[in-house]
Structure 1
Amino acid sequence: MTRAIRAAVPPGVVLDGELIVWERGRTNFAQLQRRVTAGRDLLRLARECPAHYVLFDLLADTGGQVILDLPLSQRRAQLEQLLAGAPAQLTVTPQTTDLRQVADWLLHWTAAAGIEGVVSKRLSGRYEPGRRGWSKFRTRIVTEAIVGGVTGDLSRPESVLLGRFDRRGRLRYTGRSHPLTSAQAGELAESLSPPRMPCRGEAHPWPQPLPASWSGQLDRPEPLQYVQVEPTVVAEINADVAFEHGRWRHRVRYARLRADLSVYDVPLLLGEEEGYFGDLG
């Protein structure tokens, strides 16, 4: 990637963008994360799963002149001109003023390609470092998951650890919620119970503590201490579509307890190639 940038971008240019890795037509953030701790395997990973640099903005032009005060429309035009002959690894993010096109992206691209949503910016806006001069609209789904553990304690859960059964009937960890409200914690606590004694040598299916690699968060890499619970409680959740390798990359929002549902009513955890997003709606 650095070679492609050096070859296509003159010295002095300052770009704003994001690295992504494509795998089978979808973005794969986990593959990008693996490079952080890859060590000697870094070059092999880069060859097997090459990264692409998606450009959002141009902050300094070919002469090294800072252009933050130019309107976005002019910065965008210069960025497109700069990358007109660049290799496919360097690409400008799609942009449109057509709301029908935006709706199509939200409806189809997010599910098919694993893209989280769209960003709205003013064409006349300047680039303001340190300030968020834009709004992001994520595609979100309402679905169900099984509570397999909590942080805090059973009487005062702080967040929930969620799972789904795979085709073999094993409860697989799928993600963690944002902190619960006091009302949510109180309602949920009444339904939680510790795991029953192991039957036929089968214990709780998740390790204690939860491995750092399971969380997918770079800002908190240490293992997570939590309280295991009997996986009989179903929660309704609100999640975005950043779902990779059987897990939600971002924390989900706990909505409510679904006492009317059995754990066997929760959608199975399917491989992404099998159409996990079939339960969107």
Structure 2
Amino acid sequence: MDLPVMPPIQPMLAKSTPRLPQAGGFLYEPKWDGFRCLVFRDGNEVELTSRSTKPLTRYFPEIVAAAREHLPERCVVDGELVVVAGDRLEFDLLSARIHPAQSRIDELSEAMPARLVVFDLLASGDESLLDLPLRERRARAESLLAGVVPPIHLTRVTADADVAAEWFTRFEGAGLDGVIAKPLDLGYTPGGRTMLKIKHKRTADVVVAGYRLHKNSTADEPLLGSMLLGLYASDGSLHHVGVCASFTAARRAELAAELSAEAVDLADHPWRALAMGQNRWSAGKDLSFVPIALTRVAEVGYEHMEGPGEEARFRHTAQFKRWRIDREPESCTYRQLDEVVGYRLSEVLQ
């Protein structure tokens, strides 16, 4: 492979901002919820690399084949790998694609094929486009990729902040998790946080049902690693919906001492099975935890839920906000969560 932009190279990154920038000079895109992926094609040679520059090529043979068939003969593109289930993106299914066994990789490439959503062009032929402003890179991408067909897509864009604000609300129902704003006049800066991301921010009141100890915890100085969070379903069962884990060292010690006083016997806890077996989220992790009495309610921040109905969980680690001593644990149900308006993914993908 001999391209003007060669791996390893880190993709351009984004920093969070609470509000959509309204001033001119930005190009807005939907924020795709998948694996960041740079694709390098030089004739029959194709390489896929991750955000951290690790190789992804072997895990997505269907994308390699599609790149050979539909991308320009010699090019480098930046995009996102996603998996579609029904009419929305499903990150869980995408994560399952990273498997050590080649036979399983081949099976999953047919059972749950990925798609590549392209949003930038880094090289074309013998020319590096890194120094060109985004407005020119986008124009070149629209010209070169005009004929691509699924599973490769060119992302939708708009220069209208009002349209982007509408996307922020509507597209979440299709599994997207916000909007990206990119300065039109800037070049491509590998590893630089020159883009802006606007993601959904919400809070929920949850039951704290237990905790895990931190890896640096000792018998003499116990430290809390994470708190296990639950919501009550309509049948009265308490579902495990995720964890919150970001605390200072001092706060970890305080919480470990505080919560240890409320520990109960695992046999009397509704999550006995959680400590005894694997589930689709555990992926070989240590499932042991300290169960506590179901009396504490915490307010946590989160971006969005993943999964259908009362099987939904926090997509990322939640952020502890405060204790809610005014709330009864039984009031922490799925009904408090925002209803996301459904939206057809086929109307987002071009």
User: Shorter-chain TM-score: which interval?
Assistant: 0.7 to 0.9
| Aligned ranges 1:268-279 → 2 under 5 Å | 268=334, 277-278=338-339
Residue of structure 2 in register with 1:174 after alignment = 241
Q: Give 2:289's aligned amino acid.
A: Y
From 317, 324, 327, the equivalent of 1:261 is 327
1:32 paired to 2:75: no
Q: Give 2:306's aligned amino acid.
A: F
Work out the CA distance in 1 between the residues paired with 2:188 and 2:78. Answer: 10
| Aligned ranges 1:84-95 → 2 under 5 Å | 84-95=146-157
- Identical aligned pairs, as a percentage? 30
Task: Give yes or no for contact 2:299–2:322 (8 Å, CA) kept in 1.
Answer: yes
Q: How far apart are 1:169 and its partner, in Å?
A: 2.7
Q: How far apart are 1:197 and its partner, in Å?
A: 6.5
TM-score with structure 1 setting the length? 0.82
| Aligned ranges 1:237-252 → 2 under 5 Å | 237-244=300-307, 246-252=312-318
From 56, 64, 69, the equivalent of 2:131 is 69
1:165 paired to 2:232: yes
Q: Cα–Cα, structure 1 residues 207 and 242, in superposed 2: closer, same or farther, change >3 Å?
A: closer
- Matched residue of 1:142: which SS? strand
Write the deviation string for residues 4-26 of structure 1: whole angstroms up to 9, x where unpaired. 21111123200101100111222
Q: Give 1:127's aligned amino acid.
A: Y
Work out the CA distance in 2 between the residues paired with 1:254 and 1:117. Answer: 22
> Using CA pairs below 8 Å that are at least 6 residues apart, which structure has the higher relative contact order?
2
Work out the CA distance in 2 between the residues paired with 1:10 and 1:99. Answer: 31
1:195 paired to 2:195: no
From 92, 97, 121, the equivalent of 1:58 is 121
| CA RMSD in angstroms, aligned pairs only | 3.0
Q: Give 1:227's aligned amino acid.
A: V
Work out the CA distance in 2 between the residues paired with 1:261 and 1:196. Answer: 24
Q: Cα–Cα, structure 1 residues 178 and 279, in superposed 2: closer, same or farther, change >3 Å?
A: farther
Gaps of 5+ in 2: 1-62, 215-220, 342-350
Task: Give yes or no for contact 2:274–2:287 (8 Å, CA) kept in 1.
Answer: no
Q: Cα–Cα, structure 1 residues 188 and 142, in superposed 2: closer, same or farther, change >3 Å?
A: farther
Q: Give 1:146's aligned amino acid.
A: V
Write the deviation string for residues 29-57 of structure 1: whole angstroms up to 9, x where unpaired. 11111111273233332223221101121
Q: Cα–Cα, structure 1 residues 209 and 197, in superposed 2: closer, same or farther, change >3 Å?
A: closer
Q: Cα–Cα, structure 1 residues 140 and 95, in superposed 2: closer, same or farther, change >3 Å?
A: same
1:126 paired to 2:150: no
Work out the CA distance in 1 between the residues paired with 2:253 and 2:180. Answer: 33
TM-score with structure 2 setting the length? 0.67
**228-237 vs 36-45, which moves further:** 36-45
Task: Give yes or no for contact 1:187–1:257 (8 Å, CA) kept in 2.
Answer: no
Task: Give yes or no for contact 1:35–1:45 (8 Å, CA) kept in 2.
Answer: yes
Work out the CA distance in 1 between the residues paired with 2:280 and 2:199. Answer: 25
How many residues are paired up? 267
Q: Cα–Cα, structure 1 residues 20 and 59, in superposed 2: closer, same or farther, change >3 Å?
A: same
Task: Give yes or no for contact 2:211–2:289 (8 Å, CA) kept in 1.
Answer: yes
Residue of structure 1 in register with 2:46 after alignment = none
Q: Cα–Cα, structure 1 residues 180 and 247, in superposed 2: closer, same or farther, change >3 Å?
A: same
From 295, 318, 321, the equivalent of 1:232 is 295
- Matched residue of 2:127: which SS? coil
Work out the CA distance in 1 between the residues paired with 2:162 and 2:197. Answer: 17
Q: Cα–Cα, structure 1 residues 152 and 184, in superposed 2: closer, same or farther, change >3 Å?
A: closer
Write the deviation string for residues 197-243 of structure 1: whole angstroms up to 9, x where unpaired. 735xx663453378585257xxxx64255322223211111101152
